[in-house]
A and B are shown apart, each in its own frame.
Chain A
């Protein structure tokens, strides 16, 4: 167990020292938060009286987790190329320890960035106005999302052969980000596109976060979010474990 903690700490320190990971996890979402508030707050419709900052914060946590995850997958790939991964495997540790350590470290990274982003959101109007239970639910949801992204991108980094393949996820992440109710409320999308937006996993997560922090349905979006996260984690775990064994 302490081996996992040591390896998690290592993953966390590596992330903090990697400018790419740091910029994508923290700097980019913080700048986006400022720029979106400045540029769009005035024209953005606010259905249900929900403040724009309330939508932006969960979206930007997802943005930081996903784009930071991309940078992380690149780092995992580089460690494989440079032989660091092989050296870690040569250590006398139970199977899966290295993988677990990395995933735990990455999960902590995303949770920490979520804390910073939520705090920054407070400056521009984000509030927990749905009670203690809601706030607690928000942080649990955020941790679950963090763990899912950590598993997903560690799996990608262990599986792919070239950085270019990782970069291919970039347009996919942009579409997930734009076609969600975090940037623009669902009602503002063209009618035919609203169906697409509703299928986006980001939509379930943002809706759940909105319900947990301000107003709106909680149970439906929350169940869908948990289902998405568990399904994605299961697939990612299978890929990661198989990649680990195949080496």
Chain B
């Protein structure tokens, strides 16, 4: 069996497990939508005072944040697999290491796709729209999925490395919210204090959100998209290498 065929077997196992826990899936789908409603209510007037349209500005940002929140779930599931011995058993099988990892990530991608769809639906009700062609929409969704892949690989790495879902949950409960606040997701980078502005502007989260906004606008994306993709591919490679290594060390 090729790595890909093995990966699809793992994928099937993970998807079946996921479907047996509909509450978890529902949470991952609904939470970002609720966050979007909250942030729009909070910032609609404040952003309007800055000459910004919250309806168009917030959905891509909250999508990235919501996907990060959903990405922590991948780390939790990886930790459970490592703790309960599932990883040890799969390592004893004559299958490639990457296939286990790809199967995990592929099943999560399905969940992330649902999150994205739910968020775009609520976003559309709040005034969000795509102003480019179908290609831009496809690129938007692909970039969103790439962004969560980068984050989820790091979470899976943590899950395999710690083998304790409680540690994973408590470590990952905070960063995504704080990192999101410290990006151009809500407030534009130039409205941050001068000393931190360059960091805000260059953070991978800001870069991703700006690229998603450009894709939704449907205009020129040459200035934003390549930087975002470079960041995300780099982070995914780093997280993936770490995750596969940690998987190899799990006993």
A interface residues, Cβ below 8 angstroms from B:
19-20, 23, 27-28, 31-32, 35-36, 38-40, 42-45, 171, 174-175, 178-179, 183-184, 187-190, 193
Can you report 26 A-B residue pairs in the complex whose CB atoms are below 8 A from each other? A23-B170, A23-B174, A27-B174, A31-B174, A32-B178, A36-B181, A38-B182, A38-B193, A40-B187, A42-B193, A43-B47, A43-B50, A45-B46, A45-B49, A174-B38, A175-B38, A178-B42, A179-B38, A184-B42, A184-B43, A184-B46, A188-B43, A188-B45, A188-B46, A190-B41, A190-B44
Decide if B34 is an interface residue (CB 8 Å cutoff): yes
B49 to chain A, nearest CB (A): 7
Asked if A38 and B42 sit within 8 Å, CB to CB, the answer is no
Asked if A171 and B50 sit within 8 Å, CB to CB, the answer is no
CA distance A174 to B27 in the complex (A): 15
Decide if B186 is an interface residue (CB 8 Å cutoff): yes
Asked if A190 and B187 sit within 8 Å, CB to CB, the answer is no
Told that A38-B192, A189-B45 touch, could you supply 19 new A-B pairs with CB distance under 8 A?
Answer: A20-B170, A27-B174, A28-B174, A35-B178, A35-B181, A36-B181, A38-B182, A39-B181, A39-B182, A40-B186, A42-B193, A43-B46, A43-B47, A43-B187, A178-B42, A184-B43, A189-B41, A189-B42, A190-B45
Asked if A183 and B42 sit within 8 Å, CB to CB, the answer is yes
Q: When A and B form their complex, what is the total count of cross-chain residue pairs whose Cβ atoms lie within 8 Å?
A: 61
A169 to chain B, nearest CB (A): 14
B170 to chain A, nearest CB (A): 6
Closest to A35 in B: B181
Asked if B186 and A39 sit within 8 Å, CB to CB, the answer is yes
7 nearest A-B pairs in the assembled complex, by CB-CB distance: A35-B181, A42-B191, A188-B45, A184-B42, A39-B181, A178-B38, A188-B46
A135 to chain B, nearest CB (A): 29
Report A-chain residues with C-beta under 8 Å of the C-beta of B192: 38-39, 42
Report B-chain residues with C-beta under 8 Å of the C-beta of A27: 174
Asked if B170 and A19 sit within 8 Å, CB to CB, the answer is yes
Decide if B237 is an interface residue (CB 8 Å cutoff): no
Q: A23-B174, A42-B193, A171-B34 are in contact. Are A193 and B187 (CB under 8 A)?
A: no
Chain B, residues 155-186, CB within 8 Å of chain A (1/0): the string is 00000000000000010001000100110001
Report A-chain residues with C-beta under 8 Å of the C-beta of B34: 171
Asked if B187 and A39 sit within 8 Å, CB to CB, the answer is yes
Report A-chain residues with C-beta under 8 Å of the C-beta of B178: 31-32, 35
Decide if B196 is an interface residue (CB 8 Å cutoff): yes
Report A-chain residues with C-beta under 8 Å of the C-beta of B44: 190
Report A-chain residues with C-beta under 8 Å of the C-beta of B45: 187-190
Closest to A34 in B: B178
Report B-chain residues with C-beta under 8 Å of the C-beta of A44: 46
CA distance A43 to B190 in the complex (A): 11
Closest to A184 in B: B42
Report B-chain residues with C-beta under 8 Å of the C-beta of A179: 38, 41
Asked if B181 and A188 sit within 8 Å, CB to CB, the answer is no
B11 to chain A, nearest CB (A): 27
Report B-chain residues with C-beta under 8 Å of the C-beta of A32: 178
Report B-chain residues with C-beta under 8 Å of the C-beta of A35: 178, 181-182
Report A-chain residues with C-beta under 8 Å of the C-beta of B46: 43-45, 184, 188
Out of B43, B50, B186, B196, name the residue touching A38 (CB < 8 Å): B196
Report A-chain residues with C-beta under 8 Å of the C-beta of B38: 174-175, 178-179
B24 to chain A, nearest CB (A): 11
Report B-chain residues with C-beta under 8 Å of the C-beta of A28: 174
Chain B, residues 39-64, CB within 8 Å of chain A (1/0): the string is 00111111101100000000000000
Report B-chain residues with C-beta under 8 Å of the C-beta of A171: 31, 34
Closest to A164 in B: B23
CA distance A183 to B178 in the complex (A): 15
CA distance A20 to B163 in the complex (A): 18
CA distance A191 to B161 in the complex (A): 49
B183 to chain A, nearest CB (A): 9
